[in-house]
Amino acid sequence: MVLLVAGRVVRTATSLWQERETMVRVVWDVSEWLGEEAQLLLVDDDDGPRGHLLCDHIVLYDTPAPPPAEDPGG
C-alpha cells in the first residue's frame, strides 16, 4: 500500500510475512498534508501465479486514531 501526496510517495506499508495472509493494523499520521489531495494505492507487484491483494477496514480520522481493540481470538 502506498500513499501519494502531490505525486510523491510519502508512506508505504508492505506485507510482514511473505507466505501468510495475516492482516496487521497500520496507522499513518498524515496531519502534515492537511488540505492536500492524496491517493492510496494498493499494489500487487508479485510476478508469480499467486499475486493478489488483501486490504480491509480503511478508516480516516480527524483526530488521533484510537488504540486497537483487544483481539478476542488471541
Digit-coded pLDDT (tens) for 17-47: 566 777 778 888 888 998 999 999 988 877 7
- How many structural domains compose the chain? 1
Cβ proximity of 50 and 19 under 8 Å: no
Cβ proximity of 57 and 49 under 8 Å: no
**pLDDT given at position 39:** 94
pLDDT band at residue 8 under the 50/70/90 scheme: very high
Assigned C-alpha cell, 38: 492524496
Q: Give the global pTM.
A: 0.71
Does pLDDT of 72 surpass 60? no
**pLDDT given at position 9:** 96
Average pLDDT score over residue span 42-57: 79
CA-based radius of gyration for the chain: 14
- What are the distances in angstroms from CA 20 to CA 23, 30, 70? 9, 28, 21
Write out the residue range of the structural domain in which residue 14 sits. Answer: 1-74
